[in-house]
Amino acid sequence: MRFVRRKRGMAVNSANDAGYSKVRSLVRGLELLQALNRNEQGRASLADLATATGLHRTTVRRLLETLIEEGYVRRSGSDDRYVLTLKTRSLSEGFTHDERVSAVAGPVLASLLQQVRWPSDLCTPDGAAMLIRESTHRFSALSFHRTMVGQHLPMLVTAAGRAYFAYCADDERASLVALLRQDPFQAKYANDARFIDNLLEQTRARGYGANEGDWSEEGKVGAIAVPVFENARAVATINVIYLARAIGREEAVSRYLSPLHKAARQLEVLLAKGVPD
């Protein structure tokens, strides 16, 4: 069957005819999504996207605002970078389950910051480490690092990692141990059965993960962290980070553990409701 369409006064013969002109704004929008998807963790700055696409920054900004309005992109409250949302990532390889957690974490972390003043991170497992997906470092007057989103924390020597390791499912922990034994930095801990047993026992007895300068790269830092669960499985952790010389672990637990647990429960409620498209 042949039919005719009119576009700008010109007849186009049939559906098989190659006479349709491209919609440039649509093409640019798709290029922008592809560029965002290619960036690590599906997040990038305005400048990164302008460079990747060759488009003017003003054009990129306009396209991003449209994509945000339509629910395909969001702007991270932690570092102002643009991030793919579930609506886009569920249809592509760029989507990860962990993005569901970070997509709802911003307001929860902001509320936590108001209560504790020290910075906090939302972390999810990424191989032998925990990946910081959202953070309040840039907003905390007490922060000693301004940019943390996208950084990795070793699993066995940080509060965030220990909280996840102790409360993740047994089958997942077994896989993690095998992976950690291949990690140059953490192999000595993963191969020490007594260290692993003590870590699990202490963390579970306390009800939180703790780091009191155990990570050599952050020897002056202390932290406590709690797990976030979805469908009875640990999916993330939230921490509070402080200077060890300013406050000890017992005082940190007394002040911050209750707000941490409250924040974790709030995230679990949001996850149970489902992340909106």
C-alpha 113, offset from chain centre: 17
Other beta carbons within 10 angstroms of residue 91's beta carbon come to: 10
Residues of the chain with CATH 1.10.10.10: 5-89
What's residue 118's pLDDT?
Answer: 92
What's residue 101's pLDDT?
Answer: 76
pLDDT band at 41 (very low <50, low <70, confident <90, very high): low
What's residue 74's pLDDT?
Answer: 86
132 pLDDT more than 60: yes
What's residue 277's pLDDT?
Answer: 42
pTM as predicted: 0.67
- Fill in the DSSP letter of residue 146: S
- Cα angle value 115/118/121 (rounded, 5°): 100
Query: Which region, left, alpha or beta, applies to residue 78 given φ > 0 means left and ψ of -120 to 50 means alpha?
Result: alpha
The Cα–Cα gap between 218 and 145 comes to 11
**Whether the Cβ atoms of residue 13 and residue 5 lie closer than 8 Å to each other:** no
Q: Point out which residues pair with 132 in neighbouring strands.
A: 123
- Cα angle value 113/124/178 (rounded, 5°): 145
C-alpha 12, offset from chain centre: 48
CATH classification (class only), 98-273:
alpha beta
What's residue 141's pLDDT?
Answer: 77
Fold observed for domain 5-89: Arc Repressor Mutant, subunit A (1.10.10)
Residues of the chain with CATH 3.30.450.40: 98-273
For 258-270, write each residue's pLDDT tens digit.
Answer: 999 999 999 999 8
